[in-house]
Amino acid sequence: MTTRFSLLLQQSPFAGQSFASALQFARAALAKGYLLEQIFLYEDAVLAVQPGIDLPADEPDLAAQLARFCQQQQIPLLYCVTAAEKRGVFSDINADAKADKSANAPPPFIAAGLAEFAMRLTGTKVVQF
């Protein structure tokens, strides 16, 4: 039986190493043949879904890298709606994906609640960043 993981990110993508570490873990897990069931953004990690963030040229956009990775690997990238609303993330976060009609990929971020995340955990190991 293949080991299945779910990742839980709680720190802002603009502070600390959590997004970089999660991406590194996800890539390594898939390379070893493990399954990655979902990635859930909670608390300040939901700031990653805010469109229009203008980072300095010398800073990597880890939120965009995570979104691309999840799209390429077809891994659900969920974010907590309540945490997003509490932090003022209200705009249409999937507008760019909807505007690009040539892309057949699903929108990178999926609105969810903490209960949905919990229901998806059956049979998975949770790794928290």
CA distance 107 to 104: 9
All structural domains of the chain: 4-52+62-128 (3.40.1260.10)
Its pTM surpasses 0.95: no
pLDDT at 92: 54
Q: How many CB atoms lie within 10 A of CB 8?
A: 20
pLDDT at 93: 54
Q: How many residues does the chain have?
A: 129
Average pLDDT of 30-57? Answer: 91
Q: Which residues carry out catalysis?
A: 80
What is the residue-averaged pLDDT of the chain? 88
pLDDT over 50 at 102, yes or no: no
Average pLDDT of 1-9? Answer: 95
